[in-house]
Amino acid sequence: MRQACDPVAHPSHYTDGIEVIDYIESKGMAEGFCRGNAIKYISRAGKKDKTKEVEDLKKAVWYLEREIARLEKLNEDKDMKKRYEAYLLNDSNNKAIKAFKNESDALAFADSHADVIIVKDDDDGHSYIWNDHHERWELNE
């Protein structure tokens, strides 16, 4: 989907097909890119064109906001890796049927489904399983 031309967020010279920043992010090369561009726009604000000093600073802010959003998404993804997952017993697909952010919600779900187990992987590399009776087992790899 093509973005409307905006000299700060979507300059016309960057919106031919895919925006360069979208390509860079899709290839996993975004770390440092937005910060570097923010520094570039702050350090040269108004030097290329005095009438565009505010626009240059807005571009710096745009890159900083995009970097903040990228970092928040990374943190959210890390949090989701710490989630509790419900699996059906005897399911050969071995895919979680539901995910929970906290233990109490996960165990409540297990209480109402006798054919479900809850699995959680901790940061310390240990995995834990709960059944519908809240019995917990640690799985060491």
Maximum CA pair distance of the chain?
70
pTM of the model: 0.51
**Closest Cα partner for 35 from 65, 13, 74, 7?**
65
Q: Report how far Cα 4 is from the mean position of its chain's Cα atoms.
A: 25
Roughly what angle, to the nearest 10 degrees, separates helices 53-81 and 33-43? 160
Give dist(CA 85, CA 112) in Å, integer.
15
What is the per-residue pLDDT for 2?
46
**Closest Cα partner for 96 from 110, 79, 75, 112?**
110
Secondary structure E strands in 9-105:
84-88, 98-100
Residue 1 pLDDT > 50: no
Give dist(CA 82, CA 126) in Å, integer.
11
**Which structure tokens are listed for 137?**
């087992």
Q: What is the pLDDT of residues 12-63, one digit of tens each?
A: 655 567 788 888 888 888 888 999 999 999 999 999 999 999 999 999 999 9
Radius of gyration of the chain (CA): 23
